[in-house]
Structure 1
């Protein structure tokens, strides 16, 4: 009887440990990021202060990246592909949030295999209405917010039908009206700012 009780207890502890690991590494990142209490919404079509970034009549694509955020790390290959595909028609920028490990501009550029501007300025996220990573903000040539949201519904950006950021780039380049995506594209998922917490 005692042996069965100990075996049952051991299995219960093992199941609890697996559940905690699943929560920590997977499930919590599938939930929307809580909206901060001091959050000030920025509406689509709002003029965005781009003091950080030069404007040359090309749209500006800002990738908000947190080196400590697993979701940010998972979509590096997808963002790198976007930079390769659209880099001659769109000004790509990376804004690094939560730079506690003293990551350099060169290290970030190597991660994305692209020599594009990198900023360490949290106010850019606030100006764009971004409160989690990874997030994308696409600003048209008149400095208005055209798209702010997620890259894809899957963590590794493998679902072609929900490549929201890429679809927004395509629509803007074709001079289409601002995209109308479902809530999944616009609701923030991932790590909350400024720290990598949920």
Structure 2
């Protein structure tokens, strides 16, 4: 084998190794496998804090864990919900996972923080949502959707908010879903 062919083979091998390293680095940093998790949500113990309890607007409470990679899929959807339903009198709130640190994206600045929500310590997983009707009764508790991502086409939330804004009763406080969730308890 001539020196020219040997050098070409070595250069080709070096390029292949470089491409493999780049691919492996990209995959380990940016691609996360979706791990199907089943979560059972029970809203039996959830209560609004005293300052929000009782009759009032429809109240949506977003349960947020800043370290959970599953938030990426629902944050844009949540911003769209705020844009559409805030004008219809729905108030939006957030409960951050106890002991966690993080800041919501700017497009979710309308979420009003709740320091403590009774019963939230028993939350099975996040992201999750609780919705109280105008009478202050828990109408929905569970995930935003089922599956790896959340958007308007697979969301459980739009039909619930639509029914409540039209004055129809909703009672969905026990749900089970398979999706992208992170454990809530520390």
Q: Same fold per TM (> 0.5)?
A: yes
Residue matched to 2:164: 172
Question: Paired residues, what number?
Answer: 155
Give the one of 21, 26, 29 matched to 2:33. Answer: 26
Q: Equivalent residues in 2 for 1:19-98 (5 A)?
A: 25-28=32-35, 30-33=36-39, 41-43=42-44, 48-51=47-50, 53=52, 57-88=56-87, 89-98=89-98
Question: Structure 1 residue 62: deviation in Å?
Answer: 0.3
Q: Give ranges in structure 2 of 5+ residues lacking alignment.
A: 1-23
Q: Secondary structure at the match of 2:61?
A: strand
Give the direction of change, closer, same or farther, for the CA distance of 1:47–1:121 in structure 2 (3 Å limit).
closer
TM-score, reference length from structure 1: 0.64
**2:143 pairs with 1:154:** no
Q: Give ranges in structure 1 of 5+ residues lacking alignment.
A: 1-16, 36-40
Q: Deviations over 1:156-196 (max 9, x none)?
A: 31361x32012111111112231569x8xx2155111134x
Determine which structure has greater relative contact order: mean sequence separation of CA pairs < 8 Å that are 6+ residues apart, divided by chain length: 2
Question: For residues 127 and 61 of structure 2, what CA distance do their matches in structure 1 show?
Answer: 10
Q: Deviations over 1:36-73 (max 9, x none)?
A: xxxxx534xx8833325376621110010111111123
Question: Structure 1 residue 144: deviation in Å?
Answer: 0.9
Task: State the structure with more CA Rg.
Answer: 2
Question: Structure 1 residue 77: deviation in Å?
Answer: 0.4
TM-score, reference length from structure 2: 0.68
**2:129 pairs with 1:136:** yes
* 2:144/2:155 contact within 8 Å kept: yes
Write 1 or 2 for the structure with the bigger share of strand. Answer: 2
Question: For residues 31 and 122 of structure 1, what CA distance do their matches in structure 2 show?
Answer: 25
Give the direction of change, closer, same or farther, for the CA distance of 1:99–1:110 in structure 2 (3 Å limit).
farther
Write 1 or 2 for the structure with the bigger share of helix. Answer: 1
Question: For residues 140 and 132 of structure 2, what CA distance do their matches in structure 1 show?
Answer: 7
Question: For residues 47 and 155 of structure 1, what CA distance do their matches in structure 2 show?
Answer: 26
Question: For residues 111 and 33 of structure 2, what CA distance do their matches in structure 1 show?
Answer: 31
